[in-house]
Structures are given as structure tokens and as C-alpha cells.
Structure 1
Amino acid sequence: RKAINHLLECVDIAKETGSNDFSLWFADGTNYPGQGDIRKRKNWMLEALHEMYKALTPDMRMLIEYKAFEPAFYHTDIADWGMAYHYATKLGPQAQVLVDTGHHLPGANVEHIVAFLMDEKRLGGFHFNSYKYADDDLIVGSSNPYELFLIFYQILNAAQDVDAGIRHTVDKIAYLIDQSHNIEPKIPAMIRSVLNVQTQYAKALLINHAEVEEAVSRQDVLGAEDAVRQAFEFDVAPLLKAIREEQGLPADPMKAYLASEYGTQILQRGKGGASW
């Protein structure tokens, strides 16, 4: 009951602050067989989420996150996108799935998961980061930029769908960055993440979807792959710089930040001003 009350308090806070989206990740599970009844825990989770769902206003959304492990190592209550999707469908249309790009086991096809959830109209948002082994929370796109590009490919492909519901799902996607800063300064790391996202999104915009579909219709596997890969290999840096200049922004945001010496200034504040 304490957990349910806490969720209801979150809804009350959101009403006061005007927030509409809840990013829900539960660090709950067990470390050893027999430590907890998995089926009972499943039903308790649904009961708690259902109480919260009933308290939502019509404009609110529950974005249910998942994670294979950490801190629980034997079983985690919401361990993958399928479990999150299950709870979302049990609750109703205001419950959707949040995809953290670092919350997958090695080898997972994240863009496949993204495409599946969009087609089911259940993709609510992203926590962007990068990982090599598990939930490393590295700078977005630093480990596998092609994966980030392919995620945007699937999103832009769905944006052209004839199904208005799927297009609406794409329009409502919440994009967030969720990364930790271990050895790199906080603000430059975040700038790098944003720049990486902009780069891969710009490249994905260059994909000729008609060319891909035409190759698919001919069962031309290499032709379809080539139409996608050409966009990924295109250098969009000059284009992004030109767009920033047209908007009156620095052509190179990282250089502009470093030249501002803001990082040095906040360090002088002492406690609370550390950039690490």
C-alpha cells in the first residue's frame, strides 16, 4: 500500500506542476530463487500501476520503463519491453512504453523494438544514452552511432504511415537524454550527446524511402541496404553548421561553450559548482 500511495503522491505533484508525462522505472526484483514469489509480484505491480492509472487526468501519460537487471540480479519485475508493453495494454491507452537505449542486453535489436511499439501505438518516449556492456549511460551515440541512426530511420518511416494513429504516436514521442558523467565534464558531455542526436537525425532524414521500398519490391536485399547506408555515410556537418548560422546560433556549439569559459566560472562557485 505504501508503494501505491507514493505513486498517487506523484500524480498529485504532477497536477500541481503541470506535468503530463511520468517516466516510471522500478528498481525492484530479487537476487536469489525463492526470495520472492514472481507471480505475486507481477500482480502487485499491476495493482499499483492500475491505482496510479485511475488517478491520471486525460492529458497525462504513464511511460513504463524496463531494465534487464540492476540492482536486482536474479529477476527484475519489469525486465524487458514485452513486460512493459503487457502492463501498458492491461492499463489502457494512456500507458505506454519508454525505451532507454541502454537498458538492453548485448545484441538486442533496439530499432526493431521501436518499430514494433510504434506499430502497436505504444511507444511513449526515449531515454537516450549509449552502452557497450550493460546500462553504461555513456554519451548518446558514442558506442553505436549506426543504431541511433536506425532508430530515427524507423521513426521517420512510421511518420509516413497511412495510419493516423501511428503518425500521432510518432508526434507524441518524448525525447530525453539519460546519461551519467563519470570522467567527462557534465555540460560538454551533454552538448556532445545533443550534437550526436542532431547528426544521426539529419542523416536519417536523407533516406530515400521510395528507393528502399522499390528495392524491397524487387527483393533486392543489397539495393535496399545500400539506400539506407548511403544516408548514414553522408557528411551532414556542413548542413548542420549552416542551419545553426541561419538561426543565429554558433556553428560549433562545443567550441562556443569552451570559449565562453562558463565551465571555469561555475567551478569558482565552490561546492555545487563542480563540473564533474
Structure 2
Amino acid sequence: MGNQKFGAGIWHFATYVDRYATDGYGPPRTLIEMIDLAGQVDDLSVVDINFPFADPALSLDAIDKALDRNGLSVIGITPEIYTRRFAKGAFTNPDAGIRRLANEMCNEAADVVRHFGAKYVKLWPGQDGWDYPFQVDHGSLWKASMDGVGELAEQNPDLQFVIEYKPREPRVHMSFDSVSRTLLGIEKIGLPNVGILLDFGHSLYGGESPADAAQLAIDHGRLFGMDVNDNFRSWDDDLIAGSVHPIELFEFFYTLRKNNWEGVWQLDQFPFREDSVAAANAAIDFLKGVERALDKLDFEAMREAQLRHDAVTALGLARQALFSSF
């Protein structure tokens, strides 16, 4: 225990707007200010950074210096292929010029990944999908979704491309909406450097069991990364990890440990009204408790209980390990 790396999307340390507080929940922050805030979080060591940078004049050298003074490294780069110019889609846009723009932005993000020695380009094509019956030809839309990802993976065989699926928002139906559909797409693409970044909250929101979703992705060799947060299942609330579904979160991490999956435990939280450093510390404190609980858990007894489908015994083992770890 104690060697686990913790990370966060740099947006955790931004300030936010919504359709009510259009003036925002705080003054805007620069990327450098966000990195400095991330550096104040205990045991946070890696960040995922959006691209393009909000300040086009910001140099990679300035970001390097901010990361260095905060003891942080970069795990991935997330190209913003979901903003207004991509309102009708990125990879699925009916305008070939916009599709090309999405490809170019992701290739630029790939170069930034190489600069930082990061692990992956994270693809969240939030505008790829549809809203109304008869709006799209579903066969053409799905093919465009796969072709867009596949083209990038072919152009950059030295890097990983991870797809973060989500059932809806901003589109009513997103193209990559579930673990099963995303795995089908990845297998059809057929390239080894395309995988899934499994967001715990998106899985909950989509009616999945995150532990089951993780097992499916692992069984196909496609679980390349993960994010944790929490929600009430009716929306992607991006709450502090463990605040609503601690047992399901523990089962998710049990599944990762059981399969010897190793990677960064990364936060994807949006603390609209909370102090961002305090919210990150609260989540990491909970995740450390999960790590202690995994060390305590009797895996053989759990295996035997599960062979019998003995829910009472299995839940008892899980609860004892988890709730005695704080």
C-alpha cells in the first residue's frame, strides 16, 4: 500500500458557469493558476490538461515550469472537440471541413502529449450524436464516429487514444454512449492503441454497474484509464468520489485489484460551490481508505461467496473491510 498515484483533470481547479449563474461561480482562472492550485492538494501527482490552452500565448515552457514547481506531471491531453464550433459534431459533423478541424486539433494535442511524455490523448466527443428521431442516418453516424477515432490512431501509432463514453449531455444521445457500444466500436476499428477511459459517474448515469463495465473493458484488453466521481444516477453531477455510492465505488476498485489493473486513480469532479483543493483532498482521503480496505479484504473468502452468489456474506466482507478503514 502507499504506492498508488492520484490524479485529476485540471478542470477540477477551474471556475464554472451554468445556464443560471451565467456570470460564473467565481472569477476565471488561468491554466497556470489551476496548476498552482492542483499543487496544493495532498498526494496529487498527475493532471489531465485541456487543449487548446485558454490563453493562446501560453508557452509549453511556462506550463513545464508550473508543473515542475508543483511536483506534477501530465497523464493525458483532452482536445476540446465539444465547443461551439463542433455544435453539430466533431467526427460526425456533416461539414467535412469541421471534421478535418477536429482531426487537426487532436493531432496537435498528440504533439502536446509527446512534449509532456504523457500517456494518452483523451477523446470525449460530446457533440457527436443526435437529438431527434430522423435527425441522422444511424449507420453513417456510427461509421463516422469510428472512422474519426481510427484515423487518429493510425496517424499516431506511438500514442494511446482513449474514448470516454457517456450516455448523454450535451447531445441527447451520444454516439459513444456505453461500455458495450464503445467496445464494439473499438473492436471494429481494430487498432491496438485505442481503448476506454472509464468514468465511474458516466457508468452510473448510464445505468451500468461500474464494476461490471470495468470487467468487460479489462476482458477485452481495452481499459486504458479511469476517472472517479459520484452522482445520484439521474445526471452527471461530478460530485466528490464516494459521497453517494461508496459500496459500488469499492466494488469498482475491487474489480481493478482482482484483475491486477494498474493505473492512476484520477478525479473528474466539478466542485461548483466547494473549495477545489478541499474537494480534491476529501476525495483522495476516501480513495486512500479504499486502498486500505483492499489490503484488508479477504479476496479468497469473497471469491467463495461469489461462487455461491451469496450476497449477504459478500456484502458483509465488503462492508467490514471498507467501513473499518477510516
Q: Which consecutive unaligned segments of at least 5 residues does structure 1 have?
A: 160-169, 238-276
User: Alpha carbons of 1:206 and 1:8: their partners in 2 closer, same or farther (altered >3 Å)?
Assistant: same
Is 1:40 the equivalent of 2:148?
Answer: no
Q: Distance in 2 between matches of 1:10 and 1:91?
A: 22
Superposed CA deviations along residues 194-238 of structure 1, whole A, max 9, x for unmatched, are 11111122112211111223345566553344333321232x23x
Aligned counterparts of 2:142 and 2:308: Cα–Cα separation in 1: 46
Question: Structure 1 counterpart of 2:185, which letter?
Answer: Y
Deviations, residues 163-183 of structure 1 (Å, cap 9, x unaligned): xxxxxxx13x34321111122
Which of 239, 243, 255 is residue 142 of structure 1 equivalent to?
243
Structure 2 counterpart of 1:112, from 212, 215, 218: 212
Question: Post-superposition shift, 1:72?
Answer: 0.8
Is 1:189 matched up with 2:279? yes
Report the equivalent of 1:81: 179
Q: Which runs of 5+ in 2 are unaligned?
A: 1-99
Partners of 1:52 and 1:114 lie apart in 2 by 24
**Secondary structure of residue in 1 paired with 2:230:** coil
CA-to-aligned-CA distance 1:130-184 (integer Å, 9 cap, x gap): 111211011111111111111111111112xxxxxxxxxx13x343211111221
Greater gyration radius: 1
Residue 257 (structure 2) aligns with: 156
Higher mean displacement: 206-215 or 139-148: 206-215
- Does structure 1 residue 200 correspond to structure 2 residue 290? yes
CA positional deviation for 1:100: 0.8
Between the two proteins, what is the percent identity of the paired residues? Answer: 25
Aligned equivalents of 2:208 and 2:307: distance in 1?
27
**C-alpha RMSD of the superposition:** 2.0
For normalisation by structure 2, the TM-score amounts to: 0.63
Matches for 1:5-84 after TM superposition, within 5 Å: 5-28=104-127, 29-58=129-158, 60-73=159-172, 75-84=173-182
CA–CA distance in structure 2, aligned partners of residues 87 and 106 of structure 1: 17
What is the alpha-carbon distance in structure 1 between the residues aligned to residue 254 and residue 235 of structure 2? 24
Q: Secondary structure at the match of 2:201?
A: coil
Aligned length in residues = 223
Written as runs of structure 1 = structure 2, the 5 A alignment for 1:164-243 is 170-171=261-262, 173-216=263-306, 220-234=310-324, 236-237=325-326
Q: Given that residues 160 and 194 in structure 2 are in contact (C-alpha distance below 8 angstroms), is that contact kept between their aligned partners in structure 1?
A: yes
The verdict on how the C-alpha distance between 1:16 and 1:196 changes in structure 2, with shifts beyond 3 A counting, is same
Normalising by the residue count of structure 1, what TM-score does the alignment of the two structures yield? 0.74
> Counting helix residues as a fraction of each chain, which structure ranks higher?
1
2:211 and 2:300 mapped to 1: Cα distance? 20
